[in-house]
Amino acid sequence: MKTLKISILLILALMLTPTISIAQDDNNQAFWIHEDQVKPSMIDEYENLSKAFNAACAKHNFEGSWNVAQLSNGKFLSITAIEKLADIENFSMASLSEKMGEEDYKALFDGYDKCYDKHGSYVVIRNNDLSYMPDGMSTVQEGLNYRKWHYIHVTPQNRSEMAKNMKAVKELFVAKTSKMHYRVYMNGFGQIGDYFLVVVSAKDAEDYAKRAKENQALLGPDSKATFDAVFNLASEYEEITGAMRPDLSYSPKQ
């Protein structure tokens, strides 16, 4: 997770109060995402550096935690739940740098810089009200590391209507007691454009295909109108596969 202490005082001054407080809402959870767009030829090196970084964090019991997702387009996402934007401002690796030694710490992150030409951080919001997770809301589900990301882009004037249509999809899944569970995320700050991101977990690609087929049969042909209402408002749609990487994720010893 290539992230140093980030100053966001200017951002905080410019942002609207409703946006700042959204993570405090019981229906929402904010996540700080650090995205590394890794070069195809450097993926192995990036993974080795990430494991070395995690080993250093574990050795010095660094107080921070993140889950890592790898996308099929070469992106690696380090995902950290936050309660408020001040959590980002207060995040610091100074203690880790001091314990590792400045030279070793710098060498590690210099290695990261060779793995990508673009990287950055932003915030996304999980909308629990639109998500369908009857067994409990969680980013990670044991044994279900495969991921399918459905990016449904929408223009600003259609955002509210899209939220209503997404709620109708959830109500359909609830009524049918669907076994295909999903989380819905929305863009927070640090990104251009509005979207609804539907994330589905499975054991692997075969398991996902099986779940999707069974779910389609369960929902029946009458569900087409509900889904059409969503996609008729979409300005763009992307489908990306990938997986959670517990071997690259980190949490301190309890």
Tokens read off for 54: 């995690």
pLDDT given at position 212: 97
pLDDT given at position 18: 40
Q: Which of 12, 168, 4, 138 is nearest to 85 (CA)?
A: 12
pLDDT given at position 127: 97
pLDDT given at position 25: 62
pLDDT given at position 253: 83
Domain-wise residue ranges, the chain: 9-123, 125-242
pLDDT given at position 120: 95
Q: Which of 57, 129, 66 is nearest to 96 (CA)?
A: 57
pLDDT given at position 28: 93
Q: Is the whole model's pTM more than 0.85, yes or no?
A: yes
- List of the chain residues with pLDDT < 50: 1-24
Question: Tell me: domain 125-242, CATH 3.30.70.100, correct?
Answer: yes
Summarised one tens digit per residue, pLDDT across range 198-228 is 999 999 999 999 999 999 999 999 999 999 9
Provide the phi-psi class of 213: left if phi over 0, else alpha when psi is between -120 and 50, else beta: alpha
The yes-or-no answer to whether 9-123 and 125-242 have a common fold is yes
Amino acid identity, position 78:
S
At the top level of CATH, the class of 9-123 is: alpha beta
227 to each of 17, 75, 152, 222, 232, how far by Cα in Å?
A: 33, 28, 12, 10, 9
Question: 92 with 17: CB under 8 angstroms?
Answer: no
